[in-house]
Structure 1
Amino acid sequence: MPVKDEIEARLTAAFTPELLEVVNESNRHAGHAGDDGTGESHFAIRLRSAALAPLSRLERHRAVNRALGDITRRVHALALDLG
């Protein structure tokens, strides 16, 4: 399964989001030290969920990282917009 699909599935299961956008930005980083050649190394995530609303910014990031599990170790960069 593509990493983008895994991210979407895990975040949907964990947070039942009102808004979820996962953008693979790996092509923008071709040749960068974090580019592993898979085309799945850099992602931007925009997520809005009532489950995250009462949390602080740091708690939101921690909750998303927990939900993503091992994905955070398999990709080089995750840009999180958890508004």
Structure 2
Amino acid sequence: MGIAEQIRQRLETTLRPERLEVVNESHMHAGHAGDDGSGESHFRIAIAAAAFGGMTRIARERAIHKAIGPEIMGRIHALSVEIR
């Protein structure tokens, strides 16, 4: 299973989003810093979840990182987050 699918599963399980998009953008960064050649180094997510109610933006980002987990976060170079 690829990293994008692992990210999706963890976010769905933990935050139960109403809307979730996980996009692997690694191909756009080929040959740049952080590209490890795996094709799974740069990701973008767009997410909307009731679980974010009352949270600050920083708390929301921390919740996302926690849900994804350190083992996956440690394998990727960049994660762009759009919270809706």
- Opposite residue 76 of structure 1, the aligned amino acid is H
CA distance in 1, matches of 2:57, 2:33: 28
Q: CA deviation at 1:53?
A: 2.2
Q: Number of residues paired by the alignment? A: 83
Gaps of 5+ in 1: none
Query: TM-score of the superposition, structure 1-length normalised?
Result: 0.97
Matched, 1:19 2:29: no
Larger mean CA deviation between 5-14 and 47-56 belongs to 47-56
Report percent identity of matched pairs: 49
RMSD: 0.7
Query: TM-score of the superposition, structure 2-length normalised?
Result: 0.95
Gaps of 5+ in 2: none
Q: CA deviation at 1:5?
A: 0.4
